[in-house]
Structure 1
Amino acid sequence: MTGRPEKHSLTLRGHRTSVSLEAPFWQAFRAIAAERGLSVNEMASEIDEGRTGDEGLATAIRLYCLDYYRSRASAPARSP
């Protein structure tokens, strides 16, 4: 297993909050943000604004990472 979730502080639109994610999700989240040219806080704010229903922010981030990598896996391969 990946171990216990790690808690990190984020700032969303000027408000501090904390999110607990497992280390692989933090790594994926940071990598995606860097690839998109965003800070972790900026991307977390985007995800937060797009939430619908009762899902928590940690769940929304996990689902975002999953969807991101699923879409890349199903995209046609680029030619060199």
Structure 2
Amino acid sequence: MSRPQKRSLTLRGHRTSVSLEDEFWRAFRDIAEEKSIPINELAAQIDAARDLDAGLATAIRLFVLRHYRDKAHEGANERQTFLLP
């Protein structure tokens, strides 16, 4: 796993930076592409929804984790449905 690296984002017209590991950054970009929205828009949505006690980088990591957990659960449910008589 890589060390966190600072990257710039624009949230509602204001520049900010977030420190994320390459793996989380790539997954975050992939999710934005999957949703067909710019990464800055997805970051703004996460920023607006996050608990103010959590930093933006933490909120993004948790968002990525939840996204892939949900996908894993969907896949498991599809496999289980397929196996039922």
- Superposed, 1:6-25 pairs within 5 Å as 6-25=5-24
Give the count of matched residue pairs. 78
Q: Structure 1 runs of 4+ off > 6 angstroms?
A: none
TM-align CA RMSD: 1.4
Structure having the higher Rg: 2
What does 1:1-80 align with in structure 2 at a 5 Å threshold? 2-75=1-74, 76-77=77-78
In structure 2, distance between residues paired with 1:53 and 1:6: 22
CA distance in 1, matches of 2:52, 2:5: 24
Residues 15-66 of structure 1, C-alpha deviations (whole Å, 9 max, x = no match): 0000000000001000000000011100000000001140000000000000
Gaps of 5+ in 2: none
The alignment-based identity, stated in percent, is: 58
Q: State the AA in 2 paired with 1:4.
A: R
The normalised TM-score by structure 1 is 0.92
1:74 shift after superposition? 0.2
Question: Which one has a larger percent helix, Structure 1 or Structure 2?
Answer: 2
